[in-house]
Structure 1
Amino acid sequence: MLRRLKQKIRSLFGTKKAAAIRVREITPDTKKEVQQHRKPEVHHKAAVKPTREKVRTAPPKEKIRAVQAPPRPKKEPKVFEPWDPAVFNVEPAEGKTRFQDLDISEQLLRAVYDLGFQYCTDIQAEILPKAFEDRDVSGKAQTGTGKTAAFLLSALRHIQRNPLENRKTGSPRVLILAPTRELVLQIEKDALGLSKYTDTEVLAVFGGMGYEKQKRALEEKLVDIVVATPGRLLDFRQNSKVNLSAVEILIIDEADRMLDMGFIPDIRRIINYLPQKESRQTMLFSATLTPVVAELASRWTKEPFTVEIEPENVTNIRIEQLAYIIESDDKFKVLYNYIRHNDLKSVIIFCNRRDQTRNLTDKLYSLGIECRMLSGDVSQTKRISTLEEFRTGTIQVLVATDVAARGIHVDGVTHVFNYNLPEEPDSYVHRIGRTARAGASGISVIFACEEEAMLIPALEEHTGVKMNYIYPDEELLAELPAQVRKPEKKERPVIKTSGRAGARPMKPGGRKPRRKTGDTKA
């Protein structure tokens, strides 16, 4: 029994030597040894039931890239050859103001010298000193009086004397509003001529063409002066391409024409985008100061300096006004023979309607006269190229409607023909004002036939000038020659549609043209 007890004890504790080892004291060395032989513990995370949001496949997160804003454009200063103002030597004259007497920079004076100006016109001499003091201006002056150069010189001087840093694109400092595209282009041309020795950036904004080009200029350039028609400017403003909140000078040219063409509501909207009139300079010009125009001037300006340049005659005294007494059937014959026998090189012929303009252009062209037409049927690109050809003398005759009566500013026009007399005497005055510009003389010709004779007394009463009535001689009544060429193909006039995509063109009365047999829908 004792033996079995010893065996049981030995099985539990082993030998005495083994037991002594198991119970020996754990020293730092032995602790380290034990840790080296111990298996690493594995900790198992409790299983977490995935939520509904985690089960869904989430799109990978996009890396946020830091995009640097494009650097603001900077104007590179222009470098010009030195110029001595002493070469601009104009003798003083009693009652006249020389440009070198004005407080303008050498750069502007040099541009004036290049343009051949010597003395200020009456309106320039009166307006410029007041405009230089940042006074608002309300002026009554007809075309050809020099008002364009007056307000441009004032605006350019202001820009030069008040430089701005850290400007934004599409934020002009000067805004000039004009009623027609032709007048906008003419003002832009005059502004470029006067600013050629400065860093001023000028941009013309008008409808009918060049939308993308104008938009890029507003987005990329630091434009100082914007010359615009109201419709296209509002288009850019609604699309946030132009910011008008920093305009310092507002100029409205031919306000009476704006009123006649229905632009006043658009101008009101534009002015609402501008700084208040107390925080800007405003200049308004009009050929006539009617009560409505005067009310608009008082609303848009603050204590304006008013100047009225009244011509001694409604029409230019250097224009000789002729009236040929003929029958209606001889009108074209006299017109063609007059141009041929007098070898005219720069002529404008006015008609009342587009179809009259088109027919007259075709007849003259087929007889060998280098002519083009200018009307609403002509695209804007073609109108600009036509005007340039007329300026350079490539074409000798321009046949136009009243849409161009105020927009054409071409020196050297010797004759203006009214092939059809306008019903409004003011339109007659504007038409014949295309000749006798820049101190030259000119001739206006009308036809006193049975269709036009009844309108002549009102013209004479309005202008205060008696027509010089003459009978045509035999050479003017000579038979027409045979055609030498076929008329040019004209651009198809723009046809309005109903507004739906794929809609058929609308007839003038708003009716769709009847579909021909065999037509199928696209």
Structure 2
Amino acid sequence: MTVLKALKKIFGKSEAEPLAPASMTPSSNTSPRTDAQQPGRSAPAPAPVPAPAPVTIPDAQPAAEQPHIEKPKIAKPRREVAPKPPVIPWKLEDFAVEPQESKTRFHDFKLTPELMHAIQDLGFPYCTPIQAEVLGYTLSGRDAIGRAQTGTGKTAAFLISIISQLTQTPPPKERYMGEPRALIIAPTRELVVQIAKDAADLTKYTDLNVMTFVGGMDFDKQLKQLEARHCDILVATPGRLLDFNQRGEVHLDMVEVMVLDEADRMLDMGFIPQVRQIIRQTPPKAERQTLLFSATFTEDVMNLAKQWTTDPAIVEIEALNVASDMVEQHVYAVAGADKYKLLFNLVNDNGWERVIVFANRKDEVRRIEERLVRDGINAAQLSGDVPQHKRIKTLEGFREGKIRVLVATDVAGRGIHIDGISHVINFTLPEVPDDYVHRIGRTGRAGASGVSISFAGEDDSYQLPSIETLLGRKISCETPPTELLRPVVRAVRKPYDPDATA
């Protein structure tokens, strides 16, 4: 206290006068001490703060309950909503088809009006030969084995049989979402997608649900569709179907109809062990209807058919003569080094807009597609290396005419069913003669004419005799015109990008 008194005396302050706070700048570690903090002193009363003017709120509510007042929005002109077209009732009499000798009408079978309506929309008044024969057996519930090439209408044959069965027989009252009533197994993703599209067209007037399971696409997305609704018709590749089955998402104990499409191709691709596992999950063959289709009836195919069918009807449709008649076939003898020049000049000079080019290996497909794009031709590739979502976009772009040239391997090209393909070009001759028939069958479809051109070089010309033996006739070998072997002059066109958004 003595020191404090001395300081007050020095500064001329008495004990009664309060010591004025010193003006100082606080450091980072200290802060000025207020009177309230000083020992023995009370803080001065704060200066009165004027109260805010009262705000009158009509019907005041607690803050949490007050409505949110939005700013007035500028009214936008409303778009006129087009009225929905009226539903026109349809009767079987609206689908009039005159009987013709040697032709079978769909009217000649007992099909439901909903199915007949869809068939009329697709423009199919008469059955193809395989449809007429197969339906004669399968609609009565009999198993069948069919030998037919692609493009003969076999897909519609087994789909019509399935839809007829499912619509005329009510489903079980108790069933899980993942219990299909019909199962179709096909070897390639493209073929599965095509079959499912045809099934959707034929079931459009029914309550049947069609689903697809293929590898290379998002598993969870495919699972969500399975969880959303019952599955009536399931189209799948063997591997992905097993994935769902082994996870307990799909149960095959209620399958009424099972279809194995392109059994010969499944044998070639090594899918039969997987198919055996799948079939073991289905009801016994005496309790289900089984349909098996193959382009060839080899001993292995027939052995499988005996194991999986009961007293099947055998239906054989020769499609080779049909393909030969509808498709104009040419073979050009050309050196391997000149094949690309010949391909480019054929497409570019003639202005062809929808062409499929086949090659035997994936690396060949990639190189051909890259060179065509580099030289200004809208081209895309289809092979096992291409992701599934991109393959679907590519096929749609080709179908819509955005892609001029589709370069494919046999496996990827097996399930391509697109009308309007004017030319098929075999950049390399196939190693299996049957594949030649499948390739040229991509053109000349639905009664239209088409052209196939094969390049026979020093490395693959030895395949030609076996192809001619299969066809039962000679194919004349030509020398390409000199102008078609000139150096490539790059075209100026924007390449197609399937991942680009419109």
Aligned to 2:443, the other structure's residue is in SS state coil
- 1:163 matches 2:163: no
Shift of 1:422: 1.7
- 1:322 matches 2:346: no
Aligned to 2:205, the other structure's residue is in SS state coil
Structure 1 equivalent of residue 160 of structure 2 = 153
Structure 2 equivalent of residue 430 of structure 1 = 438
**1:372–1:398 Cα contact (<8 Å) kept:** yes
* Cα distance per residue 1:158-194 (max 9 Å; x no partner): 1111112343211110011111111100000000000
- 1:367 matches 2:380: no
Structure 2 equivalent of residue 27 of structure 1 = none
Which residue type is aligned with residue 187 of structure 1?
I
Structure 2 equivalent of residue 509 of structure 1 = none
Where do 1:120-159 residues align within 5 Å?
A: 120-159=127-166
Structure 1 equivalent of residue 469 of structure 2 = 461
* Cα distance per residue 1:305-330 (max 9 Å; x no partner): 12111236384321111112333332
Cα separation, 1, equivalents of 2:474 and 2:325? 12
Structure 2 equivalent of residue 448 of structure 1 = 456
Structure 2 equivalent of residue 236 of structure 1 = 244
**1:436–1:442 Cα contact (<8 Å) kept:** yes
Instruction: Give the fraction of aligned pairs with identical amino acids, expressed as a percent.
Output: 53
Q: Unaligned regions of 5+ residues in structure 1, if any?
A: 1-78, 492-522
Segment of structure 1 superposing worse, 233-242 or 212-221 = 212-221
Q: Unaligned regions of 5+ residues in structure 2, if any?
A: 1-85
Aligned to 2:206, the other structure's residue is in SS state coil
Shift of 1:486: 9.7
Shift of 1:106: 0.8
Aligned to 2:215, the other structure's residue is in SS state coil
Cα separation, 2, equivalents of 1:341 and 1:447? 18
Which residue type is aligned with residue 266 of structure 1?
Q
Aligned to 1:431, the other structure's residue is in SS state helix
Aligned to 2:420, the other structure's residue is in SS state coil
**1:354–1:401 Cα contact (<8 Å) kept:** yes
Cα separation, 2, equivalents of 1:486 and 1:443? 27
**1:135–1:281 Cα contact (<8 Å) kept:** yes
Shift of 1:488: 8.6
Structure 2 equivalent of residue 52 of structure 1 = none
* Cα distance per residue 1:284-316 (max 9 Å; x no partner): 111111111111111111111121112363843
Shift of 1:430: 1.5
Cα separation, 1, equivalents of 2:252 and 2:185? 13
Cα separation, 2, equivalents of 1:225 and 1:437? 26
**1:324–1:469 Cα contact (<8 Å) kept:** yes
Select the residue among 102, 108, 111 that pairs with 1:101: 108
Aligned to 1:399, the other structure's residue is in SS state strand
Shift of 1:242: 0.6
**2:147–2:316 Cα contact (<8 Å) kept:** yes
Shift of 1:485: 7.7
Give the structure-2-normalised TM-score: 0.79
Cα separation, 1, equivalents of 2:301 and 2:459? 34
* Cα distance per residue 1:408-446 (max 9 Å; x no partner): 111111111111112221222221111111111111111
Which residue type is aligned with residue 372 of structure 1?
A
Structure 1 equivalent of residue 120 of structure 2 = 113
Cα separation, 2, equivalents of 1:441 and 1:489? 30
**2:402–2:496 Cα contact (<8 Å) kept:** no
**2:331–2:476 Cα contact (<8 Å) kept:** yes
Tell me: CA distance 1:459–1:314, structure 2 relative to 1, closer, same or farther (3 Å).
farther
Structure 2 equivalent of residue 408 of structure 1 = 416
Tell me: CA distance 1:438–1:488, structure 2 relative to 1, closer, same or farther (3 Å).
closer
* Cα distance per residue 1:254-301 (max 9 Å; x no partner): 111111111111111111111111111111111111111111111111
Tell me: CA distance 1:453–1:214, structure 2 relative to 1, closer, same or farther (3 Å).
same
Tell me: CA distance 1:362–1:237, structure 2 relative to 1, closer, same or farther (3 Å).
same
Shift of 1:365: 1.0
Where do 1:33-72 residues align within 5 Å?
A: none
Q: Computing the radius of gyration over CA atoms, which structure comes out larger, 1 or 2?
A: 1
* Cα distance per residue 1:372-417 (max 9 Å; x no partner): 0111221111001001110111111001112223111111111111
Which residue type is aligned with residue 456 of structure 1?
L
Where do 1:143-292 residues align within 5 Å?
A: 143-164=150-171, 165-292=173-300
CA RMSD of aligned residues (A): 2.0
Shift of 1:147: 1.1
Aligned to 1:316, the other structure's residue is in SS state helix
Cα separation, 2, equivalents of 1:210 and 1:124? 35
* Cα distance per residue 1:330-370 (max 9 Å; x no partner): 22111111111211011000111122111111111122111
Cα separation, 2, equivalents of 1:246 and 1:217? 19
Cα separation, 1, equivalents of 2:324 and 2:207? 37
**1:326–1:471 Cα contact (<8 Å) kept:** yes
Cα separation, 2, equivalents of 1:130 and 1:200? 23
- 1:420 matches 2:439: no
Aligned to 1:244, the other structure's residue is in SS state coil
Tell me: CA distance 1:312–1:489, structure 2 relative to 1, closer, same or farther (3 Å).
closer
Structure 2 equivalent of residue 53 of structure 1 = none
Structure 1 equivalent of residue 99 of structure 2 = 92
Give the structure-1-normalised TM-score: 0.76
Tell me: CA distance 1:312–1:474, structure 2 relative to 1, closer, same or farther (3 Å).
closer
Shift of 1:484: 4.7
Segment of structure 1 superposing worse, 426-435 or 324-333 = 324-333
Cα separation, 1, equivalents of 2:157 and 2:268? 24
**1:314–1:464 Cα contact (<8 Å) kept:** no
Cα separation, 2, equivalents of 1:168 and 1:123? 35
Select the residue among 298, 302, 315 that pairs with 1:307: 315
Structure 1 equivalent of residue 63 of structure 2 = none
The aligned length equals 413
Cα separation, 1, equivalents of 2:327 and 2:497? 35
**1:139–1:308 Cα contact (<8 Å) kept:** yes
Cα separation, 2, equivalents of 1:348 and 1:257? 20
